[in-house]
Amino acid sequence: MHGFANPARFLRIARWLMPLCMGAGIAIATAALGWGLFFAPAERLQGETVRIVYLHVPSAWLGMAGWMGIAAASFTELVWRHPLAGIAARACAVPGAVFTAVCLVTGSLWGRPAWGTWWVWDGRLTSMLVLLFLYFGWMALSQASEAADGGQNKAPAIFGLVGAVNIPIIHYSVIWWQSQHQAPSITMGKSAMAGAFLHPLLFAMLGFTLLFAGVVLARMRAILAHQQAEARLRRKALSEGY
């Protein structure tokens, strides 16, 4: 872990890993969505609207994975003071928030024909909406603490860890409370879905996960480059006596 603490070493790896993840992610996600849209069968009860699952489920997974990434990076930063941990947390926030928003919108678009309503205040939908607000709060706090403390990320790191409590709430909400939302179709090693639906879904999840990783690596490179440029300009200004 600490082997990657050196930003120069990280950049050497990210330079080839980022385009690889992004390219493979775009290709696999596009193929999976094409498979789901044109070749996968319609479902017996839900008909054609079941095709929304190939976007909705990967978005839900990555919305939650984004926050788990923030929580893991926050823990690493607080315990080991890893210099890239705060940068990794900041890089996870925007893609995590985007996928959470996509999950909510596609869920709403699926809910209207399936349930007859755009929205219900049940446990799963509400806890997912809370996750989106947690992302907004985390991004605002991260920006404010960066401006105030010159890059110290203690407050967002604590927020990132505390906010992780919402992840098991999202996951178990359909089991704990009576919900309009269906119970999990895929659990560890088991699936209630037929292969004709499951295979394009797993393919889509792989593609979007690689895309997410590519975006996180690109964001980390951008944040690192920004910090290096700022440090260089500050040193130059000091040496010139400003």
Partner 1 sequence: MREAMDPWTFVVAAYAVGMGAAAAMVAWSLLTMRRAEKRRDEARKR
Amino acid residing at 125: L
Total number of residues binding partner 1 (CB under 8 A)? 40
Least distance CB 109 / partner 1 (angstroms): 4
Exactly one of 21, 28, 32, 33 binds partner 1 (CB under 8 A); that residue is 33
Long-range contacts of 133-138 (CB under 8 A, 24+ apart): 134/67, 134/163, 134/166, 135/66, 135/67, 135/93, 135/96, 135/97, 135/100, 136/97, 138/70, 138/93, 138/163
Q: Which residues contact 46 (CB under 8 A, 6 or more apart)?
A: 114
Whether the CB-CB separation of 185 and 46 falls below 8 Å is answered with no
Pairwise CA distance, residues 185 & 72, whole Å = 26
**Which CB, 149 or 230, lies closer to partner 1?**
230
29 touching partner 1, by CB under 8 A: yes
90 touching partner 1, by CB under 8 A: no
Least distance CB 219 / partner 1 (angstroms): 6
Count Cβ atoms below 10 Å from residue 196 Cβ, excluding itself: 11
48 touching partner 1, by CB under 8 A: yes
Exactly one of 5, 24, 26, 206 binds partner 1 (CB under 8 A); that residue is 26
Residues at the site binding partner 1, with contacts judged by CB under 8 A:
22, 26, 29, 33, 37, 47-49, 51-52, 55-56, 59, 94-95, 98, 101-102, 105-106, 109-110, 112-113, 208, 211, 214-215, 218-219, 221-223, 225-226, 228-229, 232-233, 236
